[in-house]
Amino acid sequence: MGTRRRVAAMRSDAALLARADWMDLLVAVAAGEVVRGVGGDTSFTAPHFWRGVVVTSVVRFLADQDLVRMPISGPAVLESRGQLLATLYSGSPSPWEHGLTWKETL
């Protein structure tokens, strides 16, 4: 048995936006509501919590989709693709409404 974990296939933006549970967690990461560890333990083995529930596996999935970055210590943070999808999902104005292109949003 190897130590490498299986990485999920990349999903399209539309497929990700269709899943409210994933997108709610992504918005929570953006708002800083997803915390790592309890009692000050923020090591790389500490789980991620959101509303008292362990969500580490879903945060890892979002990292595999290039939506969040999971630093060795501390909470998850959004990548540029995650920021864009969180903005679109939350109903905020799209960057394209201001005349920006995809590459300018990165």
Give me the mean pLDDT over the 78-98 stretch.
79
What is the reported pLDDT for 82? 94
Within a domain: 36: yes
Q: What is the domain count for the chain?
A: 1
102 three-class SS: helix
As a three-state string, the secondary structure of 14-73 is: HHHHCCHHHHHHHHHHHHCCCEECCCCCCCCCCCEEECCEECHHHHHHHHHCCCEECCCC
Report the percent of the chain where pLDDT is more than 90.
47
What's the confidence (pLDDT) of residue 94? 56
Tell whether 20 is covered by a domain.
yes
Query: Which pLDDT score is estimated for 5?
Result: 63
Residue 35 lies in a domain: yes
Tell me: pLDDT of 106 over 70: no
If you average pLDDT over residues 7-20, what whole number do you get?
88
In a domain, 74, yes or no: yes
- The reply to whether 7 falls in a domain is no
The secondary element (H helix, E strand) that includes residue 50 is strand 48-50
* Alpha-carbon gap, residue 67 to 17, rounded angstroms: 12
Output 83-86 pairs: Cβ under 8 A, ≥24 positions apart.
83/30, 85/13, 85/16, 85/17, 85/23, 85/26, 86/23, 86/26, 86/27, 86/29, 86/30
Is residue 55, in this structure, part of any structural domain at all? yes
What rounded mean pLDDT belongs to the chain?
Answer: 82
Task: Specify if 1 maps to a domain.
Answer: no
Q: The domain containing residue 82 runs over which residues? A: 13-89
pLDDT digits (tens, 9 = 90+) for 51-64: 989 999 999 999 99
pLDDT confidence of residue 104 = 47
Say if 59 falls within a structural domain. yes
This prediction's pTM: 0.76
Going by pLDDT thresholds of 50, 70 and 90, the confidence category of residue 95 is low
